[in-house]
Amino acid sequence: MNFIKRIFRSNMVDCPRCLGKGHVDLDDIKRLQKELYWTPGQCAYCNGIGKVPPDRIEKVSAGFEYLTVNLPSWERLKVINGDADALKRASKFKELIEKFVDEIVHLYYIENKEPGEIADHFLQKNSKRDYSEDEKQDLVNYIEGVIRSKIK
């Protein structure tokens, strides 16, 4: 089986997202300017292998926001194959993130709310009453990242 895998991977190239490591780190995220979309972890572009078929690079940008490890495998394949419905969902995902970021910016710069208050606002807005401190802290960290990204 390993021999067969080697034959089929021989024409593969290093993943342009993770640079062949199989995981995306902060340097990769910054290089691709996806700080507001991704966190470090397994690379969704190569599925953690570190190599991709050369035609994938032509089909899907390495910085395509929607292609994350959170996607079900069937959706990932649809995205990679350019399925129109999957690409519409990807567009809606990007719009949702952009609206979320815009609301954070408004709450921070216009309404002068602190990151913790903004996190509380979103948790209440989404009727999330049972959340852990870790979940809230993750949200606060994201909000602080958005604020830092807008200072640049």
Answer whether 116's CB lies under 8 Å from 140's CB: yes
Q: How far is CA 135 from the centre of its chain?
A: 18
Distance CA 24, CA 69 (A): 11
Answer whether 46's CB lies under 8 Å from 18's CB: yes
Instruction: Specify the residue for token string 């991709």.
Output: 52
HSE toward the beta carbon, residue 17, CA cutoff 13 A: 30
Average pLDDT over residues 9-29: 93
HSE toward the beta carbon, residue 101, CA cutoff 13 A: 16
Averaged confidence pLDDT in the chain: 91
| Residue 128 confidence (pLDDT) above 80 | no
Instruction: Give the tens place of pLDDT for each residue, 2-13.
Output: 556 555 556 899
Containing 42, the helix (H) or strand (E) segment is: strand 41-42
Instruction: Give the tens place of pLDDT for each residue, 72-93.
Output: 999 999 999 999 999 999 999 9
Any residues with CB less than 8 A from the CB of 136 and at least 6 apart, and which? 116, 119, 120, 123
What are the CA-CA distances from residue 34 to residues 40, 106, 147, 152 (Å)? 11, 21, 14, 14
Report H helices in 10-151. 26-31, 54-59, 73-80, 84-105, 115-125, 133-151
The pTM of the full predicted model, rounded to 2 decimals, is 0.80
Domain boundaries, the chain: 1-82, 84-151
Instruction: Give the tens place of pLDDT for each residue, 30-43.
Output: 999 999 999 999 99
Structure tokens at 39: 């966190």
